[in-house]
Amino acid sequence: MVANTSTAAYESTTCVGGVIGQNFYTVSNCEVSGTIELLSEFTTPSKLTYRVYCGGLVGWNVSDSALLKDSKVSANMKVTSKDALNLMVGLVAGQNGGTSATNYSKIANCSYTLPAEGKCEVNAYEQRAHIGLVGLDKNSAHSSYSSTSEFNITVNLYHKVKDAENKEVLELKETSNVNIK
């Protein structure tokens, strides 16, 4: 479990992965099991993290030299990020690809298996979340990843409201499911 409970006014990026948070090279032949849990929550709801990347293998597969290959994930995942403006959660990788159109990071031959009695849950602030086998894939034409079974990721979205003392608090807005096939 990784916890971000910073009291700073702003954090730019948090990267968490079962093997590595932010990848610029080759990660291969890895197996991740157990539980991956991320808590990113400021003590004051008005403070925000710009980006949070969380993946079963890699949080953010960044550069054109980044390759994630021949690896497997069989882990429960629980991500709570009520402070992120942009949340990318992937059972294999949070995000594949960098910030430019010329970035060609790749994922090859990677898979996710939901453990027996397994559960995947994402708790996010507002509607700024990308969730799936790869949360956001900027190079899907050159990537191969799959799930060995069909299941749902439970997604709870929160929004800001004022409590009885006129303080900002986060309240559950809606619950939905992302279907993984």
Tokens for 98?
């960098």
Q: What is the pLDDT confidence band of residue 44, given thresholds at 50, 70 and 90?
A: low
Q: What is the pLDDT confidence band of residue 48, given thresholds at 50, 70 and 90?
A: low
The answer to whether 139 touches 98, Cβ cutoff 8 Å, is no
Q: Could you report the per-residue pLDDT of 73-94, keeping only the tens digit for each?
A: 999 999 988 777 789 999 999 9
**Residue ranges in the chain assigned as alpha helix (H):** none
Helix (H, G, I), strand (E, B) or coil at 141: helix
Q: What is the pLDDT confidence band of residue 10, given thresholds at 50, 70 and 90?
A: low
More confident residue, 40 or 123: 123
CA atoms lying within 13 Å on the CB side of residue 136: 18
- 95 CB-contact burial (10 Å; exposed 0-12 / middle 13-18 / buried 19+): buried
Distance CA 136, CA 152 (A): 17
Amino acid at 91: L
Amino acid at 113: T
Per-residue confidence (pLDDT) for residue 14, from 0 to 100: 84
Distance CA 155, CA 159 (A): 13
Per-residue confidence (pLDDT) for residue 134, from 0 to 100: 95
The answer to whether 64 touches 23, Cβ cutoff 8 Å, is no
Per-residue confidence (pLDDT) for residue 37, from 0 to 100: 92
